[in-house]
Amino acid sequence: MDHASRSGEDGDPDRRWRLPRPAAEGGPIRLPDGRMGHAEPAGDDGFLVYADHAVSRPRSTVSLELLGTHSPLARKRDGAQPLSRGHAEILALLAHTPAGLTAERLAVLLHGDRANAGTARAACSRLRTRLPGVVSTRPYRLADGVDSDLREVRRHLRAGDLAAAVEAYRGPLLPDSPAPGIREIADDLHAELRGALLEAGDAEALASWCATPHGSEDLRAAEALVKALPHGDPRRGAAAGRIASLRRRLGIGWSPATAEGRRPGR
């Protein structure tokens, strides 16, 4: 069971995080931003959570842009460097697996049944030559100071900041890639973000999602947005119109009552 905790130390005092339920007597607890904290019982079924000192994260020297683009980039302080699809696939797999990957596992994620560890090693060698200091070895992993939009979305999701997650999510991971490992990560991230939005029912985050190319055809999100927005908000009418259009195209009946989640005539 999760508990909501208000963050009032060094962040937005109105932001709430979902935290794992502490032991009945309280104790150490990990916060979504990576810090450790301490929970103390308060009241019949509540806890006060105090954050320990902040854990500093190395400042990014390279930022990988891998989401929603056919032209992935490695953005450095002195400019942006285009990435080939193969190099972008390797970097995306390493970004998803901070602990690193062996050449054998990397080959499977890249090529499935046609996996060849030697081919993966050669590709990593070329990548390390083209982008010095970005990939470490034994196992292959991203070096300290390398960040990515993929990791950024996941950080926001862990912190429960859906608006920031939607803003950082510019679309599916490497949409041109046929690599089985990439397609699995892409599908999982899209489903995780979409599921969080539908579960939370946050009107602003849903409105942002529905305004994106990857969310504009999302019927369930549009229906959730109509429920979340108050009467009189013009975005509510626009979302209802979008629902009608999508349902016509899909051959599904529609009425204002169904958009509200009610049965017609009730």
What residues have CB less than 8 Å from 109, skipping those under 6 apart?
A: 93, 101, 179, 180, 181, 182
Q: How confident is the model at residue 43 (pLDDT cuts 50, 70, 90)?
A: low
What residues have CB less than 8 Å from 232, skipping those under 6 apart?
A: none
> What is the C-alpha separation between 25 and 239, in angstroms, rounded?
47
CA dist list (Å): 252 to 147, 217, 255: 43, 14, 10
Cα of 175 vs its chain's centroid, Å: 15
**Assessment of whether the complete model's pTM goes beyond 0.75:** no
> Which domains occur in the chain, in start order?
2-51 (no CATH), 59-194 (1.10.10.10), 201-266 (no CATH)
Burial class (CB in 10 A: 0-12, 13-18, 19+), 146: buried
Q: How does pLDDT run across 66-118, given as a tens digit for each residue?
A: 999 999 999 998 889 999 999 999 999 999 999 999 999 999 999 998 889 99
Burial per residue of 218-235, b for 16 or more beta-carbon CB atoms within 10 angstroms, e otherwise: bbebbbbbbebbeeeeeb
Q: How does pLDDT run across 52-65, given as a tens digit for each residue?
A: 654 444 556 899 99
Q: How does pLDDT run across 137-155, given as a tens digit for each residue?
A: 999 999 999 999 999 999 9
> What is the C-alpha separation between 12 and 160, in angstroms, rounded?
13
